[in-house]
Chains A and B, each alone.
Chain A
Amino acid sequence: MKRALLVMVLFAAGCASRETDPQTYDNNDVELAVGNAARMSCSCLFVMKMPSDFCAAWVKASPNVAKFNIDIEKKVVEATALIDWGARAHYVDDRRGCILE
């Protein structure tokens, strides 16, 4: 009986702590880094119209793992990292700027 009560108390405490714990998200740092790199590089180059060396410095984030493939003609930025991770952003128009796909 005591053991059952203890289990119930621990279960209730677990539920309570989950309600107050910070929510977490299903992203790892590399995934977020390439998302940031693609979106912000696209906006930097094609919305803010800043030079590529400025934008490379401006978007740098930790972890600094993103590699870029930039198509100036099509206004597309692809960012990749390690083997699996990639993100792509493209310029839409002179109002909506860039979208992260």
Chain B
Amino acid sequence: MTFRSVVLLAALSPLGALAAECVPAAFLGYSWPSKTKQTEGAKKAEIAALEEYAFTLTGTDDERKGIRTDGMVIIKGGEIIYEKYARGWDEFKPHLSWSVAKSVSSALTGVAAQQGLLKLEDSICEYLPNQSDATCKITVHQLIQFSSGIDWQEEYENSTYQVSSVIAMLFGEGHRDMLSFITRHRSFAEPGTKWRYSTAEATVLAAVAKAALAKKYGAADWAWSGLFDVLGMRGVYLEEDKLGTPMGGSHVFATPRDYARFGYLYLRDGCWNGKRVLPEGWVASSTTPSTPFIMTAGENEKTPSGWMWWLNKAAGPAKEKPWKDAPDDAYSAIGHWGQYVVVVPSADVVIVRTGDDRDSGISLAQLIPLALAVAK
């Protein structure tokens, strides 16, 4: 059966019986088809424009100014069509994700749901026992939508350290037992009622996913057997605290090619090599602005949020899409200092960019159109 006939059958099926099936697509084995040479020959002007923007250093390491791209990979139709590294990086070196890890934790939760090990409507105490009554009111669904109500202060290195919940958790009083540190924070709202971006929520979500997947795969293999090995992501690290709570909001390390595989899973609607890794509808839900975001996101957050993914939708307080010249269906995992895994279904493209932007940083609104021009 050809690809086209499968798509046609799915569209014509009165019961939609094939809708839940995975559509055949290019599958990425350990080796990855590369067409970078062909792209270099055919897209000289487009590549020059992309590199002038993304790879032109304007400062020194001491200054840490401007756009500082470490790596970029563009996938189209399952093939690498562009790949470049700078500043000492290469295809084998795992790069810190920062908050791209949140999207990974979201996916790990989806893997557990697909395997019947977790339900979104469950209290998180189904997976994390011995918590307070207030903590047990929080569901997995509320966590994945950034609406737990935990009073978390998501400040980084440019703010006063003493009020940053993140810095206290990663490097200060919370680092040995992140889960206890998070759950002893007061609430600012009833769970499910208000949206607030928070590394705490992704960290707890990763702990929930670990508890669920560990039942099947064990505590050492949970993320690898459940997801990373399935996708052929061979260079992935997920750091933990001393008690084994994964740093699922910040500390995934992977090569740009591995991040591209992760994006490709979403591009293919949660399927890999013909098998469903994420539940049917998971990617659609992940890439729809969440109700708490629509109802309560403040003016300071203009990019709509789904299930720990960022969306090019006009659903935020600004009432206009954040990446103006990019397709409406583009969405991205986004990390501090300029880490991006962008998925553009309408172009059949995944764009990965790793970087070290310490001040203003690269603009996705500019980067996506430049990368899509290379992929066109």
Q: Give the nearest-CB partner of A26 in chain B.
A: B173
B171 in contact with A48 (CB, 8 Å): no
A51 in contact with B88 (CB, 8 Å): yes
Q: Does A24 interact with chain B (Cβ within 8 Å)? A: yes
Which residues 144-177 of B sit at the A interface, judged by CB distance below 8 A? 151, 153, 157, 161-165, 167-168, 170-176
Count chain A residues whose beta carbon lies closer than 8 angstroms to a beta carbon of B.
35
A57 in contact with B163 (CB, 8 Å): no
User: Which residue of A26, A43, A50, A100 is within 8 Å of B175 (Cβ)?
Assistant: A100
Q: Does A35 interact with chain B (Cβ within 8 Å)? A: yes
Separation in Å of the B372 CB from the closest CB of chain A? Answer: 29
Please encode chain B, from 230 to 249, with 1 for each CB lying within 8 Å of some chain A CB and 0 for all others.
00000011111110000000
Q: Does B319 interact with chain A (Cβ within 8 Å)? A: no
User: Which residue of A19, A32, A47, A51 is within 8 Å of B171 (Cβ)?
Assistant: A32
Q: How far is the CA of A50 from the CA of B89 in the complex (A)?
A: 8
A27 in contact with B162 (CB, 8 Å): yes
Q: Does B322 interact with chain A (Cβ within 8 Å)? A: no
B253 in contact with A97 (CB, 8 Å): yes
Q: Does B52 interact with chain A (Cβ within 8 Å)? A: no
A31 in contact with B240 (CB, 8 Å): no
Which residues 28-56 of A sit at the B interface, judged by CB distance below 8 A? 28-29, 31-32, 35-36, 39, 43, 47-51, 54
Find chain B residues with CB under 8 A from A36 CB: 167, 170-171
Provided the pairs A22-B163, A24-B162 are in contact, do residues A95 and B238 lie with their beta carbons within 8 angstroms? yes
Separation in Å of the A29 CB from the closest CB of chain B? Answer: 5
User: Which residue of A25, A50, A94, A95 is within 8 Å of B168 (Cβ)?
Assistant: A25
Q: How far is the CA of A96 from the CA of B224 in the complex (A)?
A: 11
B161 in contact with A29 (CB, 8 Å): yes
Separation in Å of the B18 CB from the closest CB of chain A? Answer: 37
Find chain B residues with CB under 8 A from A35 CB: 170-172, 175
Q: How far is the CA of A51 from the CA of B165 in the complex (A)?
A: 30
Q: Does A65 interact with chain B (Cβ within 8 Å)? A: no
B253 in contact with A48 (CB, 8 Å): yes
B162 in contact with A101 (CB, 8 Å): no
B168 in contact with A96 (CB, 8 Å): no
Find chain A residues with CB under 8 A from B224 CB: 95
A43 in contact with B251 (CB, 8 Å): yes
B356 in contact with A23 (CB, 8 Å): no
Stretch at the interface among B30-38, B93-101, B126-134, B306-314: B93-101
User: Which residue of B161, B237, B240, B242 is within 8 Å of A94 (Cβ)?
Assistant: B237
Find chain A residues with CB under 8 A from B236 CB: 95
Find chain A residues with CB under 8 A from B171 CB: 27, 32, 35-36, 39, 87, 100
A43, A62, A92, A96 pick with most chain B CB within 10 angstroms: A96
A32 in contact with B239 (CB, 8 Å): no
Provided the pairs A35-B171, A47-B253, A95-B238 are in contact, do residues A23 and B220 lie with their beta carbons within 8 angstroms? no
Q: How far is the CA of A81 from the CA of B151 in the complex (A)?
A: 31
User: Which residue of A48, A100, A101 is within 8 Å of B93 (Cβ)?
Assistant: A48
Find chain A residues with CB under 8 A from B220 CB: 95
Which residues 291-350 of B sit at the A interface, judged by CB distance below 8 A? none
User: Which residue of B62, B95, B172, B186 is within 8 Å of A25 (Cβ)?
Assistant: B172
Which 5 pairs between the two chains have the least Cβ-Cβ distance?
A: A35-B171, A27-B172, A25-B168, A97-B237, A97-B239
Could you list which residues of chain A lie within 8 angstroms of chain B, going by C-beta atoms?
19, 22-29, 31-32, 35-36, 39, 43, 47-51, 54, 57-58, 61-62, 87, 92, 94-101
> 19 A–B contact pairs at CB < 8 A?
A22-B153, A23-B153, A23-B163, A25-B162, A27-B168, A29-B161, A32-B172, A47-B237, A47-B239, A48-B95, A49-B92, A49-B94, A54-B88, A57-B61, A57-B62, A95-B220, A95-B224, A95-B238, A97-B251
